[in-house]
């Protein structure tokens, strides 16, 4: 009887011991989870709530967030440093993995322009095999100051509130308007800003915008993506991507235009863009691509010569061929006429000739000299 009572009692004691051990284990695990959350806690800044990875605060441990996404919370504003500029974060969308920013240097005046040295990365920022601060925009606006007024130029939109009698400020919003070669010699660079955002924006390559429209775009800001892995950086992928990117978006339109200058400029820019793309996307040894790049550039050069020859054939060689043909036909006709004239002259010398009486008296000295 005693043994029968002792058995259940021992089972109960073992069950209690096991449950105690499990409770301690679960408590410990929960404490570790709580501790893990405390290491990289979410935070708030102004109207932005529950901010977490990839963002981090200054002073957080190195394992929290991404260094390039470090925020500073000041005056209820979340501020991020991008390249040389400071930007206010206006919205964060974790489902879309994007966040919107506005230039912090813009004031509330009626005539704002960005600071001269403040602009985000024109190209994507890369760290190891990750893309960072990728900006979804297709156009930029460039502010320039010119020493003379631009007349009859639809690209240069005036910024009247910034212009004076000796300095005229304009804004350009065409494709690649920020490049030096697209700016008039009498103008100097002031600032530039991206147009558009992750959603609808000024995606028309060829449209231009007035200064008032540019101000609206600057006030609305633009978007960046969260960090995302870069594609496989293999050499075939680099070559294929750079070949595709070497042709500008307006390649076909420029080639179909009637301007010889547009055609020549877009043709001669192909290999330059290709080499620049290969150099920028080669993470390791660039020389491994030497022979492949040499073959491709040679093929591009041959293609350029063929295209230039075709353009010259249409505009120069074709009219020149017509002129040569007409000259040849004229020369052949003249040769035939000269041959006929010589034949007639020879026939005229062999036949009888009729003279007038006065000619005979003159030749024979009034019949005193005999002829023949």
**pLDDT, mean of residues 307-323:** 74
Cα separation, 13 vs 31, whole angstroms: 27
- Contact residues for 240 (Cβ-Cβ < 8 A; gap 6+): none
Map tokens 């105690």 to a residue: 20
120, 223 contact by CB (below 8 A): no
pLDDT at residue 248 in the model: 55
pLDDT at residue 81 in the model: 92
pLDDT at residue 366 in the model: 77
Chain centroid to Cα 75, Å, comes to 37
Helix (H) or strand (E) holding 70: strand 70-74
Q: b vs e for 86-123, b when ≥16 Cβ sit within 10 Å of the residue's Cβ?
A: bbbbbebeeeeebbbbbbbbbeeeeebbbeeebbbbee
Cα separation, 44 vs 26, whole angstroms: 30
* Three-state secondary-structure class, residue 135: strand
**pLDDT, mean of residues 138-164:** 89
Please provide the distance, in angstroms rounded to a whole number, between the alpha carbons at the two ends of the chain. 183
Average pLDDT value over all residues in the chain: 75
pLDDT at residue 346 in the model: 66
Highest mean predicted confidence (pLDDT) among 27-41, 76-90, 95-109, 133-147:
76-90
Cα separation, 112 vs 55, whole angstroms: 29
pLDDT band at 288 (very low <50, low <70, confident <90, very high): low
Highest mean predicted confidence (pLDDT) among 11-15, 96-100, 286-290:
96-100
The reported pTM is 0.55
Cα separation, 357 vs 372, whole angstroms: 17
pLDDT at residue 33 in the model: 40
- Contact residues for 216 (Cβ-Cβ < 8 A; gap 6+): none
Radius of gyration of the chain (CA): 42
357: which 2 tokens? 């009486």
pLDDT band at 129 (very low <50, low <70, confident <90, very high): confident
Tens of pLDDT, residues 168-202: 999 998 766 667 777 888 999 899 888 876 544 45
258, 158 contact by CB (below 8 A): no
- From the list 137, 147, 77, the residue with the least C-alpha distance to 106 is 77
Four-residue CA torsion sign, 21, 22, 25, 26: negative
193, 218 contact by CB (below 8 A): yes
pLDDT value at 225 more than 50:
yes
Bigger pLDDT: 318 vs 257? 318
pLDDT band at 215 (very low <50, low <70, confident <90, very high): very high
**pLDDT, mean of residues 74-80:** 90
- From the list 138, 137, 143, 109, the residue with the least C-alpha distance to 219 is 109
pLDDT value at 268 more than 70:
no
């Amino acid at each position: 009887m005693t043994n029968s009572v002792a058995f259940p009692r021992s089972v109960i004691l073992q069950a209690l011991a096991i449950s105690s051990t499990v409770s301690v284990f679960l408590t410990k695990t929960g404490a570790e989870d709580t501790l893990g959350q405390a290491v990289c806690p979410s935070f708030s800044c102004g109207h932005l709530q529950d901010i977490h990875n990839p963002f981090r605060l200054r002073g957080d441990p190195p394992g929290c967030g991404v260094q390039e996404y470090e925020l500073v919370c000041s005056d209820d504003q979340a501020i991020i440093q991008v390249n040389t500029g400071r930007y206010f974060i206006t919205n964060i969308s974790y489902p879309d993995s994007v966040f919107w920013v506005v230039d912090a240097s813009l004031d509330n005046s009626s005539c704002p322009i960005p600071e001269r040295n403040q602009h985000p990365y024109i190209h994507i920022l890369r760290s190891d095999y990750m893309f960072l601060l990728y900006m979804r925009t297709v156009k930029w606006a460039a502010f320039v100051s010119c020493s003379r007024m631009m007349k009859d130029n639809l690209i240069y939109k005036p910024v009247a509130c910034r212009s004076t009698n000796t300095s005229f400020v304009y804004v350009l919003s065409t494709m690649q308007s920020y490049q030096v070669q697209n700016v008039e010699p009498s103008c100097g660079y002031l600032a530039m800003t991206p147009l558009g955002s992750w959603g609808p924006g000024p995606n028309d390559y060829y449209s231009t915008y007035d200064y008032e429209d540019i101000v609206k775009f600057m006030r609305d800001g633009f978007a960046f993506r969260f960090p995302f892995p870069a594609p496989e950086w293999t050499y075939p992928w680099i070559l294929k991507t750079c070949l595709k990117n070497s042709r500008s978006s307006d390649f076909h339109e420029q080639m179909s235009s009637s301007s010889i200058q547009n055609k020549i400029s877009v043709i001669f820019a192909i290999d330059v863009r290709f080499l620049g793309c290969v150099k920028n996307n080669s993470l390791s040894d660039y020389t491994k691509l030497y022979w492949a790049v040499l073959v491709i550039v040679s093929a591009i050069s041959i293609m350029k010569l063929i295209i230039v020859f075709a353009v010259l054939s249409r505009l120069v060689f074709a009219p020149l061929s017509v002129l040569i043909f007409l000259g040849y036909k004229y020369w052949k006709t003249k040769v035939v006429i000269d041959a006929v004239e010589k034949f007639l002259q020879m026939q005229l010398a062999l036949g009888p000739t009729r003279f007038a009486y006065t000619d005979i008296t003159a030749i024979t000295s009034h019949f005193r000299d005999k002829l023949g």
